[in-house]
Each structure stands twice: as C-alpha cells, then as structure tokens.
Structure 1
Amino acid sequence: MAKSYRSDALAAINETMEALHEVGAIDKQTLRAFDDTCLTPVDPLSPAAIRALREREHLSQPVFARYLNVSKNLVSDLECGVKRPGGPALRLLTVIEKKGIQAIA
C-alpha cells in the first residue's frame, strides 16, 4: 500500500530523507521518526461513524464484512461499540471513508 502523506511538500521532503538514509547520512530510527510526522494519521472511528460509512456505501453487514475480510459479528460489534477497530481494519475503514469502497474492491 502506498504511503499517504499530509501534503505534496512533505512527500518530497520524505523522499529526500529516504535518500539521505540510503547514503548513510541519517539512521533508520531518525527516518522512522520523520516518517511518522509526515504520514497521514489514522483517527479512531466511532461506532456511529462505522455504521454511517457502511450505510453510505449501501452495504449490508455481511457484505461489508467480506470487503474487510472479517466476520459479520465483528462488524456488528464495531457498530455497537463492543469492539474498536485497530491496525489494518482501522486503516481499511479510513481508506473507505476517504475514497469509497471501490478503493479496496
């Protein structure tokens, strides 16, 4: 998955930092810290936001679950607030929120 930067300028600066790392001018820890400041953050989604996202895409819980590669019960738990999405699931939900379900279809 391609990195999503906060701006084109930060993407260009990050490319420069990666080149500096390749030639040994900065260490990997510095590069990782810089990556963290440049990449678009993934904000948590509320249960209501997850449900609204699914409904915006006109999908049932079972179909939405198949797109996310999770169980229908997990989608239900996310929408009820029993569980909170994290890691890859949260990233996928964020991509769907910004670009629509076709971005992962």
Structure 2
Amino acid sequence: MSEIIESVLDDIERMHKAGVINTVTVQKFKKLANVPEPKHLSQKKIQAIRKKTHLSQAMFARFLNVTVSTVQKWEQGVNEPAGPALVLLNLVDKQGIKAVAL
C-alpha cells in the first residue's frame, strides 16, 4: 500500500474517532484502499491476450482506446502498458474482450 493511501486511511480513522464520519464511511474507504494493483504483463502475454480474442492489432487497439502503434510497441517490448490500459488488459485477460465492449 502506498504512503499516500496509508496517510489517507490514518486521516479517516482520526476523523472517525472525532465523530466527523461514521463507521460505514470508514469501511467504504478501507475497501477502496484495498483494490489490488493490476498485474504486470509481458510482451508475450499481451500478444497472447490479443490472439485469444481473435482480433487484429487495429481492432484490439480500438477496444482499448489506444493507437495501433501502442499495441505494436507493447507486443514488441518497446513500451509497457500502464494505468487504465494495464487495467483493461488485465480485465480482457480474465473476462474476455466482451468485458470492455460497449
């Protein structure tokens, strides 16, 4: 857990003890703080995830809202996905492409 999250949780506990927020709110913050970090994905894993979806790099990029160049660079190991893209890739890996289809 990051120092920032720990600091926020400490502040939440102090606010609860002071009667500023209730127990339900404290529990909600604690639940949010325990969201796991997305799993790192290697270039081979990213390519395997895409191939499992039977999509071209161009279509896969559209589902993830990134450029084709971005997908190519991930699969070549030039760049690594981060932030929302990494979360979406993990989601597609676990639940399939329908999990991100609108």
The answer for unaligned runs of 5 or more in structure 1 is 1-19
- Give SS of 1:53's match: helix
* TM-score where L is the length of structure 2: 0.69
Output one character per residue of 1:11-37: Cα deviation in whole Å (capped at 9) or x when no partner.
Answer: xxxxxxxxx7xx614787xx36x533x
Deviating above 3 A after TM superposition, structure 1's stretches of 4 or more consecutive aligned residues are 25-28
Matches for 1:47-86 after TM superposition, within 5 Å: 47-86=43-82
Matches for 1:1-105 after TM superposition, within 5 Å: 24-25=21-22, 31=29, 35-36=32-33, 38-105=34-101
Q: How far does residue 47 in structure 1 lie from its aligned partner after superposition?
A: 0.5
- Give SS of 2:93's match: helix
Tell which structure's C-alpha radius of gyration is larger. 2
Q: How far does residue 98 in structure 1 lie from its aligned partner after superposition?
A: 0.6
Output one character per residue of 1:54-84: Cα deviation in whole Å (capped at 9) or x when no partner.
Answer: 0011011001011111111110000111111
Partner AA of 1:24 in structure 2: I
Counterparts of 1:93 and 1:40 in 2: how far apart (Å)? 15
Counterparts of 1:90 and 1:70 in 2: how far apart (Å)? 11
The answer for unaligned runs of 5 or more in structure 2 is 1-15
Counterparts of 2:97 and 2:83 in 1: how far apart (Å)? 18
CA-atom RMSD in angstroms: 2.9
